[in-house]
Amino acid sequence: MSLTPDQQAEIDAQRAQSMPTRRVVAPGLEERLYEAIPLLDHGFVRAIDYMGDDEAIVQAARVSYGRGTKAARNDEGLIRYLMRHWHSTPFEMCEIKLHVKLPIFVARQWIRHRTANVNEYSARYSILDKEYYVPAPEQLAAQATSNRQGRGDVLEGEEAARVLDMLRGDAEQTYSHYHEMLNEGPLDADGKPTALDPSRDGLARELARMNLTLATYTQWYWKVDLHNLFHFLRLRADAHAQYEIRVYADAMAELTRAWVPMAYRAFEDYRLGAVQMSAPAMGALKRMLAGEAVEQANSGLSAGEWREFMAALGNQ
């Protein structure tokens, strides 16, 4: 991960401050607040702010005005009930704001989760850093033959070396052209960029950026409520999710576990580690439990549904 000395100093200053408050405080997340968790080769995610905790979920569900008289185990029981029965609004009472640095192609996949507030680094106003993502050798895989959006065997030897050279070379070239089009030279003594060619103006930043590779890193602030964060994690922390977004989801899952441990345990049990079955699949399962021989042909399930059904039962 690439943090400048100024960025690291800012993070250290943020983590050193302490303020008295009447707000709800989640001790687990307080320990992680502002910390930059390194991801991929130049990326990170860090929690900037949050609102609410496990008790806020319970309080909203009961519509109470303060800490109730219920025992903690009853609070967790209520949270598990809410999760189990798909009650979403109490979880929407908690929010978290994250600062994320990520490759543009990951950001374009991420932004499909529209139920969040996003403010991205502006390449119309500022100049993007020369940072781009290059996969680690173990992540450099061929296209899967059985899945149009998955990966197959890892590339090796000369083929892998050639692909890595192309990825680096293209990224270097596009950034070099970007820098040239901007007509931006090295910084002067006052920290301002000098012109590469004083006789001409640089291309507008909003135009120069269009030539950059999708591997270029961008940054944004992403604020989301807990209900929609759980939806994001259910999809992106899944083993089938693309690796480059899954590492972010895994880091966010750990922050969420520190923030709302009761709610996260319920999420693990009823969403992340659970299986949803259709009515025909439940019918087939009941017949199996009754001792009936059930195969795809007499199950009422399509071939694809049958494969998923078998996988859910642990029969690949």
**Average pLDDT value for residue range 211-226:** 96
Token pair for 91 = 């979880």
Percent pLDDT > 70 in the chain is 91
Average pLDDT, the chain: 90
Residue 66 is predicted with a pLDDT of 58
**Average pLDDT value for residue range 100-110:** 97
Give the least confident one: 66-80, 140-154, 198-212, 255-269: 140-154
Of 82, 111, 98, the C-alpha closest to 255 is 98
Give the least confident one: 143-152, 228-237, 252-261: 143-152
Residue 95 is predicted with a pLDDT of 98
What pLDDT band is residue 194 in, cutting at 50, 70 and 90? confident
Q: What ranges in the chain are assigned the alpha helix state H?
A: 5-16, 27-30, 54-62, 72-84, 104-110, 157-182, 205-208, 226-236, 243-259, 261-267, 279-289, 296-299, 303-312
**Average pLDDT value for residue range 147-163:** 78
Give the least confident one: 58-72, 246-260, 273-287: 58-72
What pLDDT band is residue 184 in, cutting at 50, 70 and 90? confident
What pLDDT band is residue 143 in, cutting at 50, 70 and 90? confident
pLDDT higher for 142 or 259? 259
**Average pLDDT value for residue range 111-137:** 93
Residue 71 is predicted with a pLDDT of 63
Residue 93 is predicted with a pLDDT of 96
The residue to which tokens 């699949």 are assigned:
281
What pLDDT band is residue 68 in, cutting at 50, 70 and 90? low
Q: Give this prediction's pTM.
A: 0.88
Instruction: Determine which one of 46, 209, 236, 246 is catalytic.
Output: 236
Residue 220 is predicted with a pLDDT of 97
Looking at the predicted structure, is the pLDDT value of residue 149 above 90?
Answer: no
Select, from the ranges 9-13, 94-98, 186-190, the one with the highest average predicted confidence (pLDDT). 94-98
Residue 265 annotated to the active site: no
- CB-CB contact of 220 with 45 (8 Å): no
257 CB-contact burial (10 Å; exposed 0-12 / middle 13-18 / buried 19+): middle
**Average pLDDT value for residue range 265-273:** 95
- CB-CB contact of 234 with 149 (8 Å): no
